Amino acid sequence: MSQNGAGTLIKTKPRCERNRVLVTGGAGFVGSHLCDYLVARGDHVICLDNFFTGSKENIAHLIGKPNFEVIRHDVVEPILLEVDQIFHCACPASPIHYKYNPIKTAKTSFLGTMNMLGLAKRCKARFLITSTSEVYGDPLEHPQRETYWGNVNPIGERSCYDEGKRVAETLTMDYNREHNLQVRIVRIFNTYGPRMALDDGRVVSNFVSQALTNKPITVYGDGQQTRSFQYVSDLVKGLVTVMDGPEIGPFNIGNPGEFTMLELANLVKEVVNPNATIEYRENTADDPKCRKPDITKVKTTLGWEPVVPLREGLERMVDDFKRRLGVE
Ligand code: NAD
Ligand code: UDP
């Protein structure tokens, strides 16, 4: 038995049964927690990353382990490797980062996914795409089920990401239909936890950093827009469950607990700093008004559901943020 970064006990596999697993974007927030889990489970893990938004610090504790290696590589270029499974996580996920160079984001989603699917085809590996709730756009169905086709602006500032992920799902299904490739599709809803980049502008990392450094908590718009927040260890278990399960999906992986941004701000105040103040700022373009996963499909077919409530998840990430922000 061993323990992963999120404090979960995992059964370790004997060396002869080791899976060779590629985690693209493995030095990022989600990817690094996934690498922790897979390394602890005894898989042979190759972390591939171009370090655009990921960091060496996220995986420093894994360096030197016999079943872990790192490759600096950009998925927009093809690569030759021998693997059994590919978790394709490489793509900036925060709006600030994916809007920074939107053409590169679209290339990462399209060419990057195509290259990794090509690799999976050559190795006969199983391929999992980390898609997103953003494929539902500003949803007209609430909560969102996997059968909903979405309401996405194809020419807006968020489209490089939203449409990028939609075409990544399309490519994934076409490799399945045309080449009989084993594929899995996961639609991830807003996820938070330790190792989120301090500067990535996502709402949970912003609010927690602001509260810890006595800066006003910045609520965009009127704060009535909603999101459903999932703790990262729940997501990692969901990704592994889908990869090892019998069905392609797509599967929503998220926590159905729905909060307005104002409710989140007040919860962060309670958990992190009761003296924090709230400041309203102009919202960004095409911001989805609501988002909440219907997780019936994954729950009934694979038995997965999240277990960490928002308050507990926030408490769990505070120490990591304090250390990195250098505050008491
Ligand atoms: P992140 O930005 O922390 O991690 C992305 C990683 O991919 C980083 O390490 C980055 O350096 C790497 N990367 C980016 N472009 C690359 C390229 N061209 N070649 C190689 N590496 C590249 O984001 P995250 O939150 O860890 O997200 C991981 C995946 O999960 C992404 O695909 C994202 O779209 C998806 N997702 C995340 C969330 C969330 O709430 N965290 C929600 C929905 C979907
Ligand atoms: N948001 C906010 N304050 C911030 C950052 C974000 O109120 O400092 C809002 C943002 O407008 C959106 C929600 O929080 O409505 C979630 O934003 P995030 O960038 O975390 O993720 P998204 O779901 O939009 O990709």
Task: Going residue by residue through the chain, which has 328 residues, state the pLDDT in tens, using 9 for 90 and above.
Answer: 455 545 455 555 555 567 999 999 999 999 999 999 999 999 999 999 999 999 999 999 999 999 999 999 999 999 999 999 999 999 999 999 999 999 999 999 999 999 999 999 999 999 999 999 999 999 999 999 999 999 999 999 999 999 999 999 999 999 999 999 999 999 999 999 999 998 889 999 999 999 999 999 999 999 999 999 999 999 999 999 999 999 999 999 999 999 999 999 999 999 999 999 999 999 998 899 999 999 999 999 999 999 999 999 999 999 999 999 999 7
Q: Would you say the ipTM is above 0.95?
A: yes
Q: Is the CB of 41 under 6 A from ligand 2?
A: no
| Ligand number nearest to the C-alpha of 218 | 2
Q: What b/e readout covers 135-161, taking b as 16+ CB neighbours within 10 angstroms?
A: bbbbbeeebbebebebebeeeeebbbb
Q: Looking at ligand 1, which residue's alpha carbon is closest to its atom 6? A: 25
User: Domain tally for the chain?
Assistant: 1
Beta bridge partners of 217: 278
The answer as to whether 103 is a domain residue is yes
Burial 231-260 (b: 16+ CB within 10 A, else e): bbbbbbbbbbbbbebeeebbbbbbbbebbb
Q: What is the CATH number of the domain that holds 298?
A: 3.40.50.720
The packing angle between helices 232-244 and 29-41, to 10°, is 60
In a domain, 208, yes or no: no
Q: What's the rounded Cα separation, in Å, for the pair 270 and 114?
A: 45
Question: Does residue 203 line the site of ligand 2, with CB under 6 A?
Answer: yes
Tell me whether residue 261 is in a domain.
no
In a domain, 155, yes or no: yes
Indicate whether 26 belongs to any domain. Answer: yes
CA distance 190 to 152: 17
- In the reported structure, the alpha carbon of residue 25 is separated from the centroid of ligand 1 by a whole-number distance in angstroms of 6
Cβ(73)–Cβ(48) below 8 Å: yes
Q: What is the pLDDT of residue 251?
A: 98
From residue 302, how far is each of 33, 122, 243, 245, 296 by CA, in Å? Answer: 21, 28, 11, 7, 10
Residue nearest to atom 1 of ligand 1 (CA): 28
Task: Evaluate: CB of 45 within 6 angstroms of ligand 2.
Answer: no
Three-class DSSP labels, 233-254: HHHHHHHHHHHHCCCCCCEEEC
Which atom, in ligand 2's list, is nearest to the CA of 94? 19
Of 42, 40, 27, 24, nearest in space to 87 by CA: 24
Catalytic sites, residue numbers:
161
Ligand 2 pocket member 197 (CB < 6 A):
no
- Distance from the CA of 48 to the center of ligand 2, in angstroms? 28
Cα-to-centroid distance, 203 and ligand 2 (Å):
5
Question: Is 211 inside a domain boundary?
Answer: no
Q: What range does the domain containing 47 cover?
A: 20-193+230-256+288-307
Query: Is there an atom of ligand 1 within 6 Å of 108 CB?
Result: yes
In order of 26, 68, 112, 219, 278, the CA distances from 78 in angstroms are 17, 21, 8, 41, 46
* Residue 63 maps to a domain: yes
Q: Give the number of whichever ligand sits closest to the CA of residue 132.
A: 1
- DSSP letter at 136? G
**Residue from 45, 115, 125, 113 nearest 85 by CA:** 125
Q: 230 CB less than 6 Å from ligand 2? A: no
Query: How many C-beta atoms lie closer than 10 Å to residue 123's C-beta?
Result: 18
Is 91 part of any domain? yes
pLDDT of residue 1: 46
Which ligand is nearest the CA of 133, by number? 1
Burial of 84 (0-12, 13-18, 19+ CB in 10 A): middle
